[in-house]
Structure 1
Amino acid sequence: MKRSFRSVVLVAAGTALVACTYGLVRYAVGLSAPDAQRDLGLSTAAVGLVAGGTSVAYCLAAALAFLHAERRPRTVVAGAGAVAVLGAAGVGTAGSAAVFAAAAVLGSAGAGAASPGLVVLVRRAVAGPAEPRAQAVVNAGTGPGLVVAGLLAMLVERWQVAWTAAAAGTAVVTVVVLVAARGGGAAARAPRADAGRRWVLPVLAAGLLGAGSAAVWTHGRTVLQDGGLGERPALWVWVCLGVGATGAAVAGPLLLRAGPVPAWSASAALTAVAVLAWALPPRGAVPVLAALVFGLGFTTATTALIAWAGQVSRTPAAAVSVFFVALLLGQAAGAPATAALLDAGTPVALGAAAAATAAAAVLPLSGRRRAPRAR
C-alpha cells in the first residue's frame, strides 16, 4: 500500500488500539467495579487496591517500552495488544475476585506499552507539521473506547460479555496496526534517552494529575450510584465521559497552538473543576457536565504531555514512557487513597483529588516564572 494511505490507516488503527487498550480495558475496570462488587464480592477498599495494581502493571510495561520502543516499536505494540487481549479475556471469564484482580492488572499493562510504541510509529509515518495533529487524534482514542464500553455495559445482559468483546476487538486492531506499520523503517541505533532537569516538571505534574484523576476513573461510577443515581443513568454518564474525551482530538491541537505547557495547565485546570463537580449530588445535568469536562480535560492533558515530551527531549518515546509512568504511579497512589477518604465522605475524598489536580495545573506555570532567573 502507498505510504500516504498506509499513514491514514495507521492513524485510524492506532486510534482504535488506544480505544481498546485504554477505554475498553484499562479504564473499564472502574466502570465494572460496581458489578464486580455485587457478583464477586469485592469491597470498596479492594477495588482501590486493584486499581492501584493496574497502575503498577501499566508502569512496568511502560518501563519496558522505554527501553525498546525507539528500536522495535512494532514489537512493543504487538506485546501491548497481546497482553491487553489476555487480560480482557481473563476478566471476561473470571469466576472469583482473585481472578478478576489478576486479569485486570495484566490487561492494564497493554495500555502502558501501547502509547510509547504508537508514538514512534506515528512519528515515522506522519512527517512534518501534520504529526502533532496525528498524535492528538491517536491519543484521543480513549474517548471512543469509553463510549463503546458504556454502551456495551448497557446492551449486554452480563457485564463480563463486554470484556470478551473487548478482547476480540483488541486482537483485530492490533493486527491492523502491525500490518499498516510494515516497511516504516527502523532506527539502526536507538538514541540514548536525554533525561535531565527539563523532565522534572512534567514528571511531577503528571504524578499529581494521576493522583487526582484516579478518584473518577476508579470510583466515579460507584460515587454516582451511591449518591442516588440509577445504574443506567450512571452508565450514560460514563458514555458522556467518553464523548468528552473524544473531543480532545479537536481541543488538543487548538490548545497546543499556545504551547505544550499552557495547553497542559488549561487542561489540568478543567479536569480539577470536573473532579470537584463530581462530588456534588448527582442531580439534573451536573453529572453529565462533570463527565464531559473531565473526559475532555484529562485526555487533552495527556495529549499535551506527549507534546511536552517532544519539547523537552530528543527521544520523545522514552520521555512519553517516563511521563506516563509518573501519571500512572500517581493513579496507583490516588485510587486507594480515595477509597480510604471515601469513609469520611464524598466531598472530602473528591475535594482532595481536585486539589491534587489543581496543583498539577499550577506547578508548571510557577516553574516557567522561575525559569528566567535561573539562566
Structure 2
Amino acid sequence: MKFSRLVLPGATMIAATYGLARFSFGLLLPDMNESLEMSEFVSGMVSSLFYLAYCCTIILSTVITTNEGPRRMIISAGLSAFAGLVLIAVTPNVWVLALGVLLAGASTGLASPPYGAAISLWIKTDQQGKANTWINSGTSFGIVLSGLGAIFLTPNWRLTYLIYAILTFLILLWNFRVIPKVGTSSSLMLQKGNLSIRGVKGAIPLIFASLILGISTAAFWTFSRSFIEEAGDYSDWQLSGFWVIIGIFGVLGGFSGSLVERWGLSVGYKLGSLSIASASIMLSFTSENWLVPYLSAGVFGCFYIFLTGVLLVWGTRVFITNASLGIGIPFLLLAVGQVLGSLLAGLLIGTWDYATAFMLYGIIGMVATLLGPKKNKIE
C-alpha cells in the first residue's frame, strides 16, 4: 500500500480520537461546568472516565487486533468517538455527559494498536518507523483544532462538539474506504494469538520507561493551564493559545521516526525524555511574562509527540512479530502512569504549590532518562 494512503487517514483518525474527542474536554470544561451546574469534584470524576475507558479499551483493542487484524478496531474507534462527541453535544445532564466521555475516551484506546498492525501489514519495512510516528503526530493536529475551537467557539461548546462530531464522521468514512481486510493487498499474514511478554527481550525496560514517563508528563497535561492562569493575568484566548502552541510544535514530533533512523533509538529516547523534563522545570519558573510558559508549551508539545513516537518504534522493535502489542503495552503503561501522576500532582499542589510540583515532576522525567534502550538495541 502507498505510504500516504494509510498514513493520512490514520493521522486524521488519531487527531479525531485524541485531539477532538479527548483533549478538547479540558479546554471546554469551564463553560460546561457552568451550563450543567457541575461542581469541581463532579467534573473531576467525569474527566477521570477518559483514562478509565482508555486503559480498558487499549487492552481490548490489542487482543482483538492480534486475533482479527486492524480494520474492525479502527472502524470501532471512529464510531465510538463519533457517538461520544454527539452525546456530549446534546447532553441534558451529567449522566449523559459521563456516557459520552466514556465513549470518547474509549475511542483513543481502540485506535492506537490497530494502526501499528496495519502498518506492519501494508507498509514497507524501511518506512514503518516513519509511518508509525506520523500517524501518532495526528494527536498534535487534533490539539491545534481543539485549541482553535476553544478560542473561536468556546461560548457555544455544544456547537463545537457537534462540529467535531461531523468531522469525525467524515474521517470514519475515509478510513472505512481505505483500510483493507486482512489477507488483501498484503504479502504479510497476520500472526494470531501471540499476547505474552514472557521471554520477550527488552519488554521490562519498555514497561518501566513508559510508566515513569506517564507519571512525569501527567502534571503538564492536567495542571499546566491552571498553573499559568494562576501565575499571570492572561485572557481566555492567551490561555487557549498556550494549548495551540503545544499542538503546533507537536507536529514536529512526527519527525521522530526519521531521527531515530539517523541517530539511533537510545539517542532519540534520551533527547525526548530530557526535553520533556526540561519543559516541566521551565514551567516551574513561570511568571507573568507569557514567553516562558509559551516556550515551555512548545518544548513539551514537540517532545511529547516525539517521545511517544520513539516508544512506538521501541515497542514494535521489542514485539517484532506483534506490532499491536508493541504499541498497546507502552501506551497502556503511559496512561496508567498519567492516572497515578495526576493524582499525585493534585496532592503535591495542594500540599505545597504549583512551582514545587512541576519541579519535582521535572526530576521524575530526568529519572526516566536512565530507563531507555541501551546503545540503540532493544534490551
Both structures adopt the same fold (TM-score exceeding 0.5): yes
Q: Does 1:236 align with 2:232?
A: no
What's the CA shift for 1:230? 1.9
What's the CA shift for 1:256? 4.3
CA change 1:50–1:256 in 2 (3 A) is farther
Q: C-alpha separation between the residues in 2 aligned to 1:320 and 1:141?
A: 15
Report percent identity of matched pairs: 24
Q: C-alpha separation between the residues in 2 aligned to 1:335 and 1:208?
A: 12
What's 1:66 paired with?
62
Q: Does 1:112 align with 2:109?
A: yes
Deviates more, 1:290-299 or 1:258-267: 258-267
Superposed CA RMSD in Å reads 2.4
What's 1:190 paired with?
192
Of 305, 311, 330, the residue aligned with 2:337 is 330
Q: Does 1:339 align with 2:335?
A: no
Name structure 1 gaps, 5 residues minimum.
none
Of 113, 117, 127, the residue aligned with 2:124 is 127
Q: C-alpha separation between the residues in 2 aligned to 1:56 and 1:37?
A: 21
Q: Does 1:163 align with 2:170?
A: no
What's 2:226 paired with?
222
What's 2:368 paired with?
360
What's 1:199 paired with?
203
Q: C-alpha separation between the residues in 2 aligned to 1:31 and 1:359?
A: 30
Q: C-alpha separation between the residues in 1 aligned to 2:94 and 2:228?
A: 23
Q: Does 1:148 align with 2:145?
A: yes
What's the CA shift for 1:294? 0.5
Q: C-alpha separation between the residues in 1 aligned to 2:82 and 2:361?
A: 31
CA change 1:111–1:283 in 2 (3 A) is same
What's 1:294 paired with?
300
Q: C-alpha separation between the residues in 2 aligned to 1:50 and 1:168?
A: 23
CA change 1:250–1:89 in 2 (3 A) is same
Map Cα deviations across residues 121-149 of structure 1 (whole Å, 9 max, x no partner): 12222112122111111111111111111
TM-score w.r.t. the length of structure 2 is: 0.89
What's 2:72 paired with?
75
Asked if 2 retains the 8 angstrom alpha-carbon contact of 1:211 and 1:334, the reply is yes
What's the CA shift for 1:240? 0.6
Q: Does 1:310 align with 2:308?
A: no
Of 25, 45, 59, the residue aligned with 1:29 is 25
Q: C-alpha separation between the residues in 2 aligned to 1:352 and 1:48?
A: 23
Q: C-alpha separation between the residues in 1 aligned to 2:365 and 2:35?
A: 33
Q: Does 1:103 align with 2:110?
A: no
What's 1:139 paired with?
136
Name structure 2 gaps, 5 residues minimum.
none
What's the CA shift for 1:59? 1.2
State the AA in 2 paired with 1:205. A
Q: C-alpha separation between the residues in 2 aligned to 1:180 and 1:145?
A: 20
What's the CA shift for 1:102? 3.6
What's 2:326 paired with?
319
Q: C-alpha separation between the residues in 2 aligned to 1:243 and 1:285?
A: 16
What's 1:272 paired with?
277
TM-score w.r.t. the length of structure 1 is: 0.90
Q: C-alpha separation between the residues in 2 aligned to 1:22 and 1:282?
A: 30
Q: Does 1:245 align with 2:250?
A: yes
What's the CA shift for 1:309? 1.0
Q: C-alpha separation between the residues in 2 aligned to 1:265 and 1:247?
A: 17
Q: C-alpha separation between the residues in 2 aligned to 1:309 and 1:348?
A: 33
State the AA in 1 paired with 2:354. T
